């Protein structure tokens, strides 16, 4: 039998933990009930976790609990947490990768603290200047990888080039049948547009794209992200964070307005009877819980951050993401891509 995919779960991170975390595990187990290739290392309050695991009848063979007394609070800042978070559920969850007990770590806890301690524990891959936070973003043909989503407020061209290679590796590991197509997020598609940093990155990526790790599509504007012509969207953490949140806010604004319109009179309410299944499918397709999970790339081990406020369905999608990242050999894909980059001497 092949080695199982070992996912380390911080059961105490996020709103409504550990309840949604364990329910998320149960949803994952139900989905993959015919498979036997995964295992959970669960970190947190053993008593609470056990009660939940029993509630969902999750068989013993799928998990091991590592009791931890302390939890990283949402109010903790990355600075103080370096000292206080040691031996917390989050710390031990990530640390289990160093001990080779786990292949990947998942937490819905404090983002800043998770980034700092992941970096401390797992260390940055040799040759990578800055790790990045990558996310999933739907497009008309499938799924984009967008990075950086906020780990690095300021980036130089070397960072943007490394993000392109790491983002392509992530796309390849999750969607092996598609070719990664990289584009740099910019204010126009012409080569003269943008900052000096982005122009330098553009000129180097035109060369690097020839090594075959990805197709380089040049610049992309914000309104083209969802078109699907490119599927790895690269930007600095400031712009990426604002673009992602603006898209989330716009989606909510439109669907809120749609709800108001469809409930405003008897006739439109009546129409919901006939459009119920279509609207349900529409809602499901664009359900943000399906894209829950930001991936911290560039460390000697993958770490996934789930939205703190998501529910068990969202958390289960993050577990699914972890499973597919390990199955798709993300770490070796990244090392492979970065080795080509070194050949090219950025």
Residues that bind a second copy (CB under 8 A): 77, 138-140, 150, 153-154, 185-187, 192, 194-195, 221-227, 235, 237-239, 241-258, 260-262, 264-265, 267-268, 270-275, 277-279, 281-282, 285-286
Residue 244 CB, nearest approach to a second copy (Å): 7
Q: How far apart are CA 38 and CA 2, in angstroms?
A: 10
Q: Which is nearer to a second copy, 138 or 308 (CB)?
A: 138
Least distance between a second copy and beta carbon 26 (Å): 30
* Smallest distance, a second copy to C-beta of residue 15, A: 17
Answer yes or no: are the C-beta atoms of 303 and 122 closer than 8 Å. yes
Compute the chain's Rg from CA coordinates.
Answer: 21
Q: Which residue, 77 or 342, is less far from a second copy as judged by CB? A: 77
CB 159 → a second copy: shortest distance, Å? 15
Greatest C-alpha distance within the chain: 66
* Residue 133: strand pairing partners: 296
Q: How far is the CB of 288 from a second copy (least distance, A)?
A: 11
CB of 68 to a second copy, least distance (A): 27
Q: CA–CA separation, 64 vs 40, rounded Å?
A: 6
Helical axes 266-285 vs 237-262, angle rounded to 10°: 150
End-to-end CA distance of the chain: 42
User: Which one, 77 or 124, has the nearer CB to a second copy?
Assistant: 77
Query: Is 35 or 245 the residue whose CB approaches a second copy more closely?
Result: 245
* Distance in Å, CB of 20 to a second copy, minimum: 21
For the CB of residue 130, give the shortest distance to a second copy in the complex, in Å. 15
Contact 156, 122 (CB under 8 A): no
CA-to-CA distance for 319 and 42, rounded, in angstroms?
12
- 19 or 238: CB nearest a second copy: 238
Which is closer to a second copy, CB of 37 or CB of 282? 282
Rounded to a whole number of angstroms, the minimum distance from the CB of residue 230 to a second copy is 12
User: What CA–CA distance (Å, rounded) separates 51 from 48?
Assistant: 5
Report the SS3 class of residue 135: strand
Question: With respect to a second copy, which residue has the nearer C-beta, 51 or 286?
Answer: 286
Nearer Cβ to a second copy (124/257): 257
199 backbone dihedrals φ, ψ, rounded to 5°? -70, -40
**Is 170 within 8 Å of 295 (Cβ atoms)?**
yes
Measured from the CB atom, is 257 or 339 closer to a second copy? 257
CA-closest candidate to residue 162, choices 56, 316, 297: 297
Burial 168-187 (b: 16+ CB within 10 A, else e): bbbbbbbbeeeebbbbbbbe
Task: Name the phi and psi angles at 124, rounded to 5.
Answer: -75, 145
Question: Closest approach of Cβ 42 to a second copy, in Å?
Answer: 30
Q: Is the sign of the CA dihedral 244, 179, 118, 39 positive or negative?
A: positive
Q: How far is it, in rounded angstroms, from Cα 318 to Cα 111? A: 15
Which lies closer to a second copy via its Cβ, residue 1 or residue 266?
266
């Amino acid at each position: 039998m092949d080695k199982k995919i070992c996912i380390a779960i911080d059961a105490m991170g996020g709103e409504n933990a550990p309840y949604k975390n364990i329910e998320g595990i149960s949803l994952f187990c139900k989905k993959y009930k015919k498979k036997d290739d995964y295992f959970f290392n669960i970190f947190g309050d053993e008593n609470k976790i056990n009660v939940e695991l029993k509630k969902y009848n999750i068989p013993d063979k799928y998990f091991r609990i590592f009791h931890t007394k302390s939890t990283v609070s949402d109010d903790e800042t990355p600075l103080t947490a370096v000292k206080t978070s040691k031996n917390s559920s989050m710390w031990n969850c990530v640390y289990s990768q160093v001990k080779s007990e786990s292949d990947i770590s998942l937490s819905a806890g404090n983002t800043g603290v998770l980034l700092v301690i992941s970096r401390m524990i797992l260390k940055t891959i040799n040759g990578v200047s800055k790790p990045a936070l990558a996310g999933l973003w739907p497009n008309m043909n499938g799924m984009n990888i967008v990075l950086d989503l906020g780990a690095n407020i300021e980036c130089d061209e070397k960072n943007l080039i490394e993000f392109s290679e790491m983002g392509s590796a992530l796309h390849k590991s999750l969607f092996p049948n598609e070719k990664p197509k990289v584009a740099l997020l910019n204010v126009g598609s012409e080569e003269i547009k943008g900052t000096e940093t982005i122009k330098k990155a553009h000129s180097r990526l035109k060369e690097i794209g020839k090594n075959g790790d990805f197709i380089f599509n040049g610049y992309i504007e914000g309104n083209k992200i969802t078109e699907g012509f490119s599927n790895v969207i690269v930007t600095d953490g400031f712009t990426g964070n604002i673009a992602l949140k603006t898209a989330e806010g716009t989606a909510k604004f439109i669907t809120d307005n749609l709800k108001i319109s469809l409930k405003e009179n008897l006739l439109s309410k009546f129409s919901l009877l006939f459009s119920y299944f279509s609207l349900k499918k529409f809602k499901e397709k664009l359900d943000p819980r399906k894209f829950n999970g930001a991936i911290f790339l560039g460390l000697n081990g993958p770490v996934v951050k789930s939205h703190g406020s998501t529910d068990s369905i969202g958390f289960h999608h993050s577990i699914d993401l972890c499973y597919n990242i390990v199955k798709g050999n993300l770490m070796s894909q990244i090392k492979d891509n970065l080795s080509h980059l070194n050949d090219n001497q950025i």
